[in-house]
Amino acid sequence: ADEERGLRSAELHCAGQGLSLTPLRRRVLEIVLAAGRPVGAYDIIAELARERGKTAPPTVYRALDFLASARLIHKVHSLNAWLACSLDGDECGDERRHTAELLICRSCGSARELVDDGLRRQIQETARAVGFLADGIVLEVQGLCLDCR
């Protein structure tokens, strides 16, 4: 149900932005949504290979880059993985500022996206105070989730 809702939201967002959610991009998004946690590119490639045969990594990376630029997924830099955005694409920053505040469990690998405009503003104001323009905020907080504590 959540995956279907996520796909429908992605389709509407892409249609509204004039973006093409090709079959491969859609399938990559389905895999990321189904994972429910950060998933690595090579895990996605392995899943696609099981379904379709050999899949070239650059093809998958291009799909991931598209999905991130469309504000449908986040890159989790500390894990070198990807996570479905829990917000509608229209709510998750703009095309220049796809922001993410992520809580990442170092035990089970789960991740949860925060939505905290106050935190974003504080970071931007702190950066501005030292002459820095923060135009892309990605905050990854490592710790233990409720289930792992």
Residue 37: inside a domain: yes
Q: 103 burial class (0-12, 13-18, 19+ CB within 10 angstroms)?
A: middle
Answer whether residue 149 is part of any domain.
no
On whether the CB atoms of residues 73 and 21 are closer than 8 A, the answer is no
Structure tokens at 92: 């998750």
**How would you label 8-32 residue by residue, b for 16+ Cβ within 10 Å and e otherwise?**
ebbeebbeeeebebeebbbbbbbbb
The model's pLDDT over 3-39, given as tens digits with 9 standing for 90+, comes to 899 899 999 999 999 999 999 999 999 999 999 899 9
Whether residue 62 is contained in a domain is answered as yes
Q: How far apart are the first and last CA of the chain?
A: 28
Number of folded domains that form the chain: 1
Residue 148 lies in a domain: no
72 part of a folded domain: yes
Domain of 128? Answer: 2-143
Q: What are the tens digits of pLDDT across the range 85-144?
A: 886 544 554 444 557 889 999 999 999 998 888 998 999 999 999 999 988 888 999 999
CATH code (residue 79): 1.10.10.10
